[in-house]
């Protein structure tokens, strides 16, 4: 019985870290996919209204018509605005600091700006 428990413990010690790394990579991939989806919806919003939603209007403008958006033809997303894979809202800023499009950011696993690996930010202006 002790040998079986030892084998299971060794197996868990070797396999668990690999599985967790794949889970972390899947979250980063999911955040990237959601940001790309938002950017597509924001492009459709801009085609209809002539501009992107302001920082104050945020991503909710893709679901609920802002008062100033006369040509709004939404909703531009089929469901409510999702949170990032770590359970936090995406950060939205327009005008952005990285070109003519809005800045969209997921702060990664640690929820803090910057970082590397799983704690690194997933951003709209870089394809990773």
Decide: helix, strand or coil at residue 10.
helix
Residue 128 lies in a domain: no
Whole-number Å distance between alpha carbons of 73 and 67 = 13
Residue 49 lies in a domain: yes
Closest by CA position to 103, among listed 125, 119, 83: 125
Residue 45 lies in a domain: yes
Q: What is the pLDDT of residues 45-70, one digit of tens each?
A: 999 999 999 999 999 999 999 988 88
- For the CA atoms of 97, 100, 104, 107, the dihedral, rounded to the nearest 10 degrees, stands at -30
Number of domains in the chain: 1
Whether residue 66 contacts residue 53, with contact meaning beta carbons closer than 8 Å, is answered with yes
Residue 10 lies in a domain: yes
Residue 37 structure tokens: 């989806």
Range of the domain at 7: 2-123
Residue 53 lies in a domain: yes
- For the CA atoms of 77, 40, 127, 118, the dihedral, rounded to the nearest 10 degrees, stands at -10
Task: Give pLDDT tens digits along the chain (128 positions).
Answer: 667 667 776 666 666 666 555 677 889 889 999 999 999 999 999 999 999 999 999 999 999 999 888 899 989 998 999 999 999 999 999 988 888 899 999 998 888 788 787 888 888 888 65
Residue 65 lies in a domain: yes
CATH number at residue 82: 3.30.700.10
Residue 64 lies in a domain: yes
Residue 12 lies in a domain: yes
């Amino acid at each position: 019985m002790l040998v079986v428990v030892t084998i299971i413990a060794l197996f868990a010690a070797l396999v668990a870290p690999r599985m967790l790394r794949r889970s972390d990579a899947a979250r980063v991939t999911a955040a990237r996919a959601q940001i790309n989806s938002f950017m597509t919806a924001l492009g459709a919003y801009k085609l209809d209204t002539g501009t992107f939603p302001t920082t104050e209007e945020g991503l909710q403008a893709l679901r609920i018509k802002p008062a100033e958006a006369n040509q709004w033809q939404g909703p531009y997303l089929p469901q409510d605005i999702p949170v990032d894979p770590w359970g936090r809202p995406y950060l939205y800023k327009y005008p952005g600091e990285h070109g003519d499009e809005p800045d969209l950011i997921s702060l990664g696993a640690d929820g803090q700006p910057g970082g590397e690996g799983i704690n690194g930010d997933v951003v709209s202006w870089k394809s990773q």
